[in-house]
Amino acid sequence: MVDIVLADTDFKPRGIVSDTTLDWASGTDENDFELNVGSGIKPKLGWWWWIDGTEIGGRIDDFRTTVASGVSELTWLGRSWTGILSSKILRPDNGQDYLVVSGKLPDVVANLTRRIGLESVFTVKSDDMSTVTNWTFKDPRYVDAYTGLRNLLSSCGRRLDFRAANNHIMLDIVPVTTIDGTVDSDLVDFEAGTKHRVTNHLIGLGEQELKDRLISEWYADADGNVSRKQTLTGVDEITEIYDYTCAEQATLDDNTRKRLQDLQSGGSVDVTLSDKLGERLHVDDVVTASDRNTGFSVTAKVTKRIIKITSGVMTSLCEVGQSIVKETYSGR
C-alpha cells in the first residue's frame, strides 16, 4: 500500500490514507490529478497532499461527485506541483522589454518563486553552483512559470526536482539524467525511421510590406546544424517560408533560427520505456538507445511523468518527445 499524507491549507498534516486511487501527471501539457480516498480521513478543498520522499503531490482545487445505481463516488481534483507553477506568469517589470536574471541558479529560482507569490509553497534548497548572466525570458516574453523555469534550467543542463520532506515541498536543482546504452536490455523499445527530406533553408518574413518587409534567412547543413551559411544547394536544397508578420528584426531572426532548428529531426521515433526505467526518470531527463544492426541511435527527452495508484499498487509511466534519430551506417 502507498501512504498519502493529507495536510490542511497551512501544510499541517491531518492524517495518512492508503485506501486510494490516483491518476497524477506532471509535464509538458498535463499537470493535474484525480484522487479518490476510500476509508480514513476525508480531505477538503484547499488541502494539500503528497507522498513523502517523492515529487508526487499537489493541491486540491475542486471535486466531482458521481452517482450510479445509488452509490456515490467523490473524486478530488487539483494541480500537481508543476501545475501550480504553470498557473503563474513570469513577465517583465513595468517599463522593461524583458525579464532578465543573473546569479546562482538556486538564488535565481528562489527569487522567481517569490516574484510569483509561491515562496510559502516551495522551499528552494539546492547545492547546485551553476550561474547565469543576463539570462532573458523571451519568445514569449510572458511565459508560465513552469515553462520559463524549465527553459532557464535546461540552458544549464539542469532540471527541477520536487520532494516532499518534513512537511515542506522542497524544490531542488539537479543535473539532467542521461540514460544510454540500454538497447541490449529490456528497458527501451523503439521504432524509428529516417527523414532526410527536411527543410534546410528557412525564409522568415516579418513586419512591413512589399520591398520593405523584414527578411531573415537561415540554413541547416547535412548534420542539422543551423547557421547563416548555406551548404546544401541545388536538388538538395529544400526551402520553406516562415510567416511572422508582426515580428521586428531581432525577434524574427531568433524565431526563424529556432523554427529551422526544430525542423531538423533525423526522423520519426516511437519510444516505449519499461516501468522499471520510468521509476528512475523525471521530466527533462534524457534516454538514448541504439540498434547495432542498423546503426540507428535514438535520443528522447522525457516530457511527462504519469503516476497511477490502483488497489494499493503504484505504477510509473514516462512519455517522451523531442526525439532525434541518427544513423551511423555507411551510405548516408
CA distance 135 to 78: 32
CATH of the domain at 97: 3.55.50.10
Residues 40 and 163 in one domain: no
Residues 22 and 156 in one domain: no
Q: Which of 319, 316, 312 is nearest to 24 (CA)?
A: 316
What's phi and psi for 234, nearest 5 deg? Answer: 60, -135
Domain-embedded: residue 50: yes
Domain boundary among the residues 81, 106, 123 is at 81
Residues 144 and 229 in one domain: no
Q: Which of 96, 121, 110 is nearest to 152 (CA)?
A: 110
Q: Stretch 60-65: mean pLDDT, rounded? A: 96
Residues 122 and 226 in one domain: no
With 70 as the cut, is the pLDDT of residue 16 above it? yes
CB atoms within 10 A of CB 67: 8
Share of the chain above pLDDT 90, in %: 65
* Lowest pLDDT segment from 4-18, 239-253, 259-273, 296-310: 259-273
Q: Write out the residue range of the structural domain in which residue 252 sits.
A: 201-262
pLDDT digits (tens, 9 = 90+) for 105-162: 999 999 999 999 999 999 999 999 999 999 999 878 999 999 999 999 999 999 999 9
**pLDDT classification of 69: cutoffs 50, 70, 90:** confident
Element spanning 150, H or E: helix 145-154
Residues 39 and 72 in one domain: yes
Contact (CB, 8 A) for 176 and 285:
yes
CA distance 147 to 283: 12
Domain boundary among the residues 247, 262, 277 is at 262
State the pTM of this model: 0.75
Residues 279 and 206 in one domain: no
CB atoms within 10 A of CB 146: 24
With 90 as the cut, is the pLDDT of residue 28 above it? no
Residue 312 DSSP label:
T
Residues 183 and 316 in one domain: yes
46: left (phi over 0), alpha (psi -120 to 50) or beta: left
CA distance 227 to 185: 38
Q: Stretch 91-102: mean pLDDT, rounded? A: 96
Residues 161 and 24 in one domain: no
CB atoms within 10 A of CB 230: 14
Identity of residue 210: L
CA distance 158 to 132: 12
How many structural domains compose the chain? 4
Residues 118 and 241 in one domain: no
pLDDT score, position 223: 78
CA distance 126 to 263: 35
Residues 211 and 232 in one domain: yes
Domain-embedded: residue 332: no
191 grid coordinates: 521504432
Domain boundary among the residues 262, 295, 315 is at 262
Residues 226 and 317 in one domain: no
**DSSP per position, 29-40:** S--EEEEEE-SS
CA distance 134 to 89: 19
198 grid coordinates: 527536411
Element spanning 319, H or E: strand 313-327
Residues 228 and 113 in one domain: no
Contact (CB, 8 A) for 190 and 269:
yes
pLDDT score, position 330: 34
3-state SS, one letter per residue, for 186-217: CCEEEEEEECCCCCCEEEEECCCCHHHCCEEE
Q: Stretch 229-252: mean pLDDT, rounded? A: 94
Q: Which of 155, 79, 157, 63 is nearest to 118 (CA)?
A: 79
